[in-house]
């Protein structure tokens, strides 16, 4: 097995916030089966903050641990704070990842950011739509 | 904790008889077989005995065996050595898509040196069609190398049919029999080959032991130039303990071949029937082809191999996978992709490879532990969620 830190193993064996959110405010999907990892993040936004974050992951131990850690780091943050979560910060929180698994940490933050973008795009469309209706 | 080792495709444990056969050549009979004195002769006798044992297992003459450091060296020596010795005649060689990397990458190196390489495709069961090989033959083809049994999915290729076509044209034929030797009958005349690779560590011999059979009179350029060891075809002082160990492993393999086959076949049937019954949406790879009794490659949809292997390892089960994440190169198994398995399924592929030490209880244990692991990972799989939504 790859040399994973205790923290990675903990998140792999007991992933936090696994699941989906019905009527999520934002959904972000990244990855493909060729690279071997796929992640979907679901967010619920309340008052500009991430009220709930859930994820599903198809992938290796690192991919699962990264998604779990990202969900934990993002929970309760403002959208701007969550957007500022970097791949590097995720890897650091996990006490490091094997070099050939660093790309997994990129996917985690990317999926979260995509969910936030999705929320913002929907929100902007709603606002714009509302304006037209007036 | 209980450990169930199902990764004999990676390596096998050395038998106690093998260890006993090796031990004297590390201490009392430490001589160099090339030396003329008694110490040297004792070591030379050990090599001679091992040579005869290895030759007996594959039905060749003792002098047709060249000992190497492993299966990879044997394959490199075969592919490069046979091609180099014929390059004035032509620079085209043929292999298949599902060769071991020691054949594929040796061929790639030859390509960089100006050779042309054709890789014949395989069907969904991993079988090479002899007709495809025939169509790939050119006037300048000097070597064809097709694996005897694939180490990952276990497909046994129609080597006798392929070699007949190739050798009728006067072209040299090599087969990589690393995965098959010691598990199923391997006979150089029945297979009709000019060269054949084997590795001791695949049939309960030591790591660091391999051999290349080269038919009498077949020209070969050495990889390792040196002294007269291996009749000048492989320089370097012989690794006498490893050679003695390989010889003993070959001797025992010859005695136990039928017993091994029956035992492993029973385990294979039990495992595959059990997996199919216990887990939905799976496929046993190469199930429609003649296969090694020691291999079960199973693709499990919606989940990824490394995470299954990690949970299995925590339960005491050692297996392997064809997924990108488990390969250092981060690429899915070229064998599965060559068989048209598709990336998603390849990512969820587990390889269980049994050995003579495994029991039916080992299989029961896997059948007890794996299904909940799959269920747990499917629960967190976006692919499974999508599948359930789509299928209502």
pLDDT attached to residue A105: 66
CB contact under 8 A, B307 and A15: no
Q: Which residue has the higher pLDDT, A32 or B329?
A: A32
ipTM of this complex prediction, to 2 decimal places: 0.90
Q: What average pLDDT does this structure show over B159-168?
A: 98
Q: What is the mean pLDDT of residues B84-109?
A: 97
In this predicted model, which residue has the larger pLDDT, B155 or A105?
A: B155
Interface of A with B in 89-118 (CB under 8 A): 100-101
- Among B residues 317-336, those touching chain A with beta carbons less than 8 Å apart: 323-326, 328, 330, 332
Mean pLDDT over A50-79 rounds to 96
- Are B158 and B127 in contact, with CB atoms under 8 Å apart? yes
Closest residue by Cα to residue B318 from B8, B48, B54, B1? B8
Report the pLDDT value the prediction gives residue B227, as an integer from 0 to 100. Answer: 81
Confidence grade of residue B96 (pLDDT, cut at 50, 70, 90)? very high
Asked if A34 lies within 8 A of B332 by C-beta distance, the reply is: yes
The answer to whether residue B316 neighbours chain A at the CB level (below 8 Å) is no
B341 is catalytic: no
* Predicted confidence (pLDDT) per residue in B64-92, tens digit: 999 999 999 999 999 999 999 999 999 99
- Taking an 8 Å cut-off on Cβ atoms, the answer to whether B306 and A60 are in contact is yes
In degrees, rounded to 5, the angle at the alpha carbon of residue B303 between the alpha carbons of residues B327 and A83 is: 85
Contacts of B304 in chain A (CB under 8 A): 36-37, 58-60, 63
Residues A18, B344: C-beta atoms closer than 8 Å = no
Give the pairing type, strands B172-176 and B195-199: parallel
Distance of CA A28 to the CA centre of its chain: 8
Cα of first residue to Cα of last residue in chain A, in angstroms, is: 60
Chain B CA closest to residue A28: B382
Using an 8 Å Cβ cutoff, are B154 and B295 in contact? yes
Whether A12 shows a pLDDT value over 90: the answer reads yes
CB contact under 8 A, A100 and B330: yes
The share of chain B scoring above pLDDT 90, in percent, equals 92
Residue B233's pLDDT is: 92
Q: B315 at the A interface (CB within 8 A)?
A: no
Q: How many CB atoms lie within 10 A of CB A47?
A: 6
What integer is the mean pLDDT of B126-145?
98
Task: For residue range A41-52, list pLDDT tens digits in order.
Answer: 999 999 999 999
Which of B382, B385, B389 is the best substitution to test chain A (most A C-beta atoms within 10 A)? B382
Binary contact (B307, A37; C-beta < 8 A): no
User: Could you say which of A15, A38, A101 has the minimum Cβ distance to residue B382?
Assistant: A38
- Record the tokens describing residue B17, joined without a space: 């008889």
Which residues of A carry out catalysis? 35, 104
Helix, strand, coil percentages in chain B from 3-state DSSP, rounded to 5: 45, 15, 40
Q: Taking 70 as the threshold, does the pLDDT of residue A104 lie above it?
A: no
Whether domain A6-119 has CATH 3.90.1010.10: the reply is yes
What's chain B's length in residues?
Answer: 392
Check CB contact of A66 with chain B, cutoff 8 Å.
no
B344 touches chain A (CB under 8 A): yes
Looking at the DSSP bridge assignments, the partners of residue B297 are B351
Task: Give the residue ranges of DSSP H helices in chain B.
Answer: 16-22, 38-58, 71-84, 101-112, 130-136, 159-168, 188-191, 240-278, 305-314, 334-338, 343-347, 360-379, 382-390
């Amino acid at each position: 097995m790859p040399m994973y830190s205790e923290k990675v193993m903990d998140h792999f064996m007991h992933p936090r916030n696994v699941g989906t959110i019905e009527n999520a405010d934002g959904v972000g999907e990244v990855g493909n089966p060729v690279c071997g990892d796929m992640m979907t993040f679901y967010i619920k936004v309340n008052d500009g903050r991430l009220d709930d974050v859930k994820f599903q992951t198809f992938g290796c131990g690192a991919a699962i641990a990264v998604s779990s850690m990202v969900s934990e780091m993002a929970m309760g943050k403002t959208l701007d704070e969550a957007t500022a979560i970097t791949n590097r910060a995720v890897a650091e929180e996990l006490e490091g990842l094997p070099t050939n698994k660093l790309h997994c940490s990129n996917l985690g933050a990317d999926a979260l950011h995509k969910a936030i973008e999705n929320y913002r795009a929907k929100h902007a469309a709603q606002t714009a739509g509302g304006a037209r209706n007036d | 904790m209980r450990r169930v080792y199902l990764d004999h495709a990676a390596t096998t444990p050395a038998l106690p008889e093998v260890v006993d056969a090796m031990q004297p050549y590390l201490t009392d009979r430490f001589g160099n077989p090339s030396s003329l004195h008694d110490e040297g002769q004792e070591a030379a006798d050990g090599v001679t005995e091992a040579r005869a044992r290895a030759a007996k297992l594959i039905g060749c003459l003792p002098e047709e065996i060249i000992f190497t450091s492993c299966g990879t060296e044997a394959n490199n020596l075969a592919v490069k050595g046979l091609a180099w010795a014929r390059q004035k005649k032509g620079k085209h060689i043929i292999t298949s898509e599902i060769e071991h990397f020691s054949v594929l990458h040796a061929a790639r190196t030859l390509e960089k040196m100006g050779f042309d390489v054709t890789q014949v495709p395989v069907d969904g069961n991993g079988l090479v069609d002899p007709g495809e090989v025939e169509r790939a033959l050119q006037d300048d083809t000097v070597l064809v190398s097709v694996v005897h049994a694939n180490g990952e999915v276990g497909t046994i290729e129609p080597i006798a049919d392929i070699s007949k076509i190739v050798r009728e044209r006067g072209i040299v034929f090599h087969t990589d029999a690393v995965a098959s030797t010691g598990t199923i009958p391997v006979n150089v005349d029945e297979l009709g080959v000019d060269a054949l690779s084997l590795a001791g560590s695949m049939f309960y011999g030591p790591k660091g032991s391999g051999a290349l059979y080269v038919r009498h009179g077949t020209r070969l350029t050495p990889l390792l130039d040196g002294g007269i060891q291996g009749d000048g075809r492989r320089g370097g002082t012989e690794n006498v303990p490893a050679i003695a160990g390989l010889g003993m492993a070959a001797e025992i393999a010859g005695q136990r071949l039928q017993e091994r086959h029956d035992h492993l076949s029973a385990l294979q049937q039990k495992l595959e029937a059990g997996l199919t019954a216990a887990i939905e949406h799976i496929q046993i790879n190469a199930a429609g082809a003649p296969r090694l009794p020691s291999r079960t490659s199973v693709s499990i949809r919606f989940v990824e191999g490394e995470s299954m292997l990690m949970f299995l390892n925590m339960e005491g089960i050692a297996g392997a996978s064809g997924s990108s994440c488990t390969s250092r190169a981060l690429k899915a198994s070229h064998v599965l992709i060559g068989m048209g398995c598709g990336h998603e399924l390849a990512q969820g592929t587990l390889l269980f490879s049994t050995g003579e030490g495994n029991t039916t209880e080992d299989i029961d244990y896997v059948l007890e532990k794996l299904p909940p692991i799959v269920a747990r990972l499917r629960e967190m799989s976006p692919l499974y969620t999508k599948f359930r939504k789509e299928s209502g």
